[in-house]
């Protein structure tokens, strides 16, 4: 690029920025000012038309107090319902030849006796009983039994 081309380009940028600056400062500011002159009633009506709920601070505080009171009431009633909410699962499981401890663990998990088939397998593996699964064993199990009691039933 020659010196003359660079000067022409710089002059064009200077003129363009000057025109934009003048337009910005002289431009009409009435649009921005008129849009922010809503009354409180107009703002509430506009929000309600668009699906928003509008409450005063006092009404909001009253609703929060009612919610806190309802939660406290629920918390007080909760301990009495503890025994009713627990469900004990009971199942009979028959081990057939060829089953592995992983298969037994998956069946126990499906029946709701153990929380995780992996935990059952880990317990069997930690005891070194992976190869000692007795075939043709039928066990009656409940979800109230501990993991070690369940393992003792089949090994």
pLDDT digits (tens, 9 = 90+) for 43-56: 889 989 998 888 88
Tell me the CA distances in angstroms from 28 to 24, 31, 49, 134, one per residue in order: 9, 7, 30, 91
Phi and psi for 133 in degrees, rounded to 5? -65, 125
Residue 32 has pLDDT above 60, yes or no: no
Task: For residue range 69-89, list pLDDT tens digits in order.
Answer: 888 887 666 555 455 556 777
d(CA 86, CA 103): 27
105, 121 contact by CB (below 8 A): yes
Q: What CATH number has the domain spanning 87-154?
A: 3.30.1490.480
100, 133 contact by CB (below 8 A): yes
Structure pTM? 0.42
- Tell me which of 37-46, 71-80, 119-128, 136-145 is least confident: 71-80
């Amino acid at each position: 690029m020659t010196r003359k081309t660079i000067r022409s380009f710089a002059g064009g940028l200077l003129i363009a920025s000057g025109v934009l600056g003048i337009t910005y400062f002289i431009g009409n500011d009435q649009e921005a000012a008129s849009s922010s002159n809503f009354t409180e009633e107009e703002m509430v009506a506009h929000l309600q038309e668009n699906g928003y709920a509008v409450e005063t601070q006092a009404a909001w505080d009253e609703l929060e107090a009612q919610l806190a009171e309802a939660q406290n009431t629920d918390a007080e009633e909760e301990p009495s319902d503890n025994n009713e909410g627990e469900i004990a699962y009971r199942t009979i499981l028959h081990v057939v030849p060829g089953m592995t401890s992983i298969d037994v663990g998956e069946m126990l998990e499906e029946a709701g006796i153990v929380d995780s088939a992996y935990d059952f397998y880990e317990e069997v593996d930690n005891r070194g009983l992976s190869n000692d699964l007795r075939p043709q064993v039928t066990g009656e199990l409940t979800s109230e039994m501990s993991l070690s009691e369940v393992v003792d039933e089949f090994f």
